[in-house]
Amino acid sequence: MIKPIYSPSQDRYEKIFYRKCGDSGLKLPIISLGMWHNFGNMDNFENATEIATTAFDNGITHFDLANNYGPPYGSAEENFGRILKQNFLPYRDELLISSKAGYDMWPGPYGINSSRKHIISSCDQSLKRMGLEYVDIFYSHRFDADTPLEETVLALDQLVKSGKALYIGISRYEPDQTEKAVQLFKELRTPFVIHQCRYSLLDRSPEDGIFDKLKEHKKGAIVFSPLAQGMLTNKYLNGIPEKSRMANSSKVHLNKEHLTDEVIHKVKALNEIAMNRNQSLAQMSLAWLVRNESVTSVLIGSSSKKQLLDSIGCLDNIEFSAEELRQIDKIVE
C-alpha cells in the first residue's frame, strides 16, 4: 500500500497571524515551533511528524533548529530533514527554517564557539543533515568572548553571500554586544533581522535593554522558553510529577532547585488569573507574550499534537485588561 502524500490544511493561513521582522520584508508567524526537545533520535519519529504537520496545518511556517539539538547532537536536524522530504518538500518555499551554531557540537577546538571555522563548518553540516541548499535564518547561537565579534559577523555575512542563508540572527547577546553586532552588520549590509532571547512571565530580562535596542534599530525579536521550561503550566502546581522533566536530574536545564517556594507562590497566583480568563496557565502565559508588540514571534516546544493545539489556543484570547496586567506585574515582581 502506497503511503498517501501529506496534504496541508487549505485554510492554514487563516488560523494564525504574522508580524513583520523589524523593518525587513520578512514576516514570522506569531507562534513558531522549536525543535530543541522531542525531535531527536531518542524520541518517537511518528509523533514528531504529527507535531510538525499539525503546526503547518495551523499556519506555523517557522521551524527552529540548531546544530546540537537532539539528543544525540544533530539528530533533530536529521529527523526534520526526513519530515521535510516525506511531507513538506512541495511546500519548501512556504517554510521558514532556521538553525544555529555556537554551542558544543563535535570534539576538539573547532566544535564549539563562534570562530569562522566553526560557523562555516557547522552550517555546511546542518544543510547536509536537513537535505537543504539553504536555511532561511542562520544564528550565532551565543556571544563568544574568545572570538572577535568581527570574525563571527564576517563568517555569518559569508553564509549569506554564498547562498547558504537568506537572513542572519543572533541569540543570547547582551544589549552592548547587540549594539556592536548591529553596527558591524550594517557596515557589511548583511540582512541581520532578528534576535532570539529568553523571555517569559518569570524571566523579563529582555525588558532591561534588549527590546529597546531592537526597537531602536528596527530588528525583530523571537522569544524562547516562553513557559519557563514548563513551570508556567499546570504541571507543577501540586509538586513535581514523577515522570516530569524536572524529576529527571539528567535534564540540566531544569531541576528541582528552580522550583522554589517563591516560584510556586507566583505560579499559583498567575493560575488564578488564568482561570478567571477561561484559559490554562500556559495559554495565558503565551497570550501575555503575544500581546507584546516588541515580540515578533513566540517560540514554543511541544511533546504532542494535543499540547501544540492547546498552545495555539492562546490566540483565542490575547486581550488583557489594565487590571489583569497590573495584577500580573505585581505577582511576578
Instruction: Return the beta strands (E) in the chain as ranges.
Output: 18-20, 27-29, 31-34, 62-64, 96-101, 135-140, 165-171, 192-198, 220-224, 297-300
Residue pair 152/182 in contact (Cβ under 8 Å)? The answer is no
Average pLDDT score over residue span 111-132: 98
Residue pair 298/28 in contact (Cβ under 8 Å)? The answer is no
With a cut of 90, say whether residue 216 has pLDDT above it.
yes
| Helix 45-57 with 305-312: angle, nearest 10 deg | 20
Instruction: Provide the H-helix boundaries in 131-260.
Output: 149-161, 175-188, 210-217
pLDDT tens per residue, range 238-275? 766 666 655 554 544 555 667 888 999 999 999 999 99
With a cut of 80, say whether residue 286 has pLDDT above it.
yes
* pLDDT for residue 236: 83
* pLDDT for residue 239: 67
* pLDDT for residue 247: 57
Q: What percent of the chain has pLDDT over 90?
A: 90
Q: State the virtual CA torsion across 183, 189, 190, 192 in degrees, nearest 10.
A: 50
* pLDDT for residue 169: 98
CA angle 280, 286, 292 (to 5 degrees): 140
* pLDDT for residue 256: 63
pLDDT tens per residue, range 26-71? 999 999 999 999 999 999 999 999 999 999 999 999 999 999 999 9
* pLDDT for residue 116: 98
User: Terminal CA-to-CA distance of the chain, rounded, Å?
Assistant: 58
Residue pair 197/163 in contact (Cβ under 8 Å)? The answer is no
From residue 107, alpha-carbon distances to 40, 68, 111, 112, 220 in Å are 20, 12, 6, 8, 33
**Main-chain dihedrals φ then ψ at residue 170, nearest 5 degrees:** -130, 160
Banded model confidence at residue 179, pLDDT cuts 50, 70, 90: very high
Q: Which domains does the chain have, with CATH numbers?
A: 15-230+289-304 (3.20.20.100)
Banded model confidence at residue 237, pLDDT cuts 50, 70, 90: confident
Q: Among 140-149, 154-163, 242-251, which is the least confidently predicted range?
A: 242-251
Query: In the beta sheet, which residues pair with residue 51?
Result: none
Q: What is the distance between the alpha carbons of residues 325 and 164, in angstroms, rounded to a whole number? A: 43
Average pLDDT score over residue span 128-133: 98
* pLDDT for residue 332: 95
Average pLDDT score over residue span 5-13: 95
What mean pLDDT is reported for the chain? 94
* pLDDT for residue 238: 76
From residue 18, alpha-carbon distances to 27, 158, 297 in Å are 6, 29, 8
* pLDDT for residue 199: 98
pLDDT tens per residue, range 89-115? 999 999 999 999 999 999 999 999 999
Banded model confidence at residue 333, pLDDT cuts 50, 70, 90: confident
* pLDDT for residue 258: 75
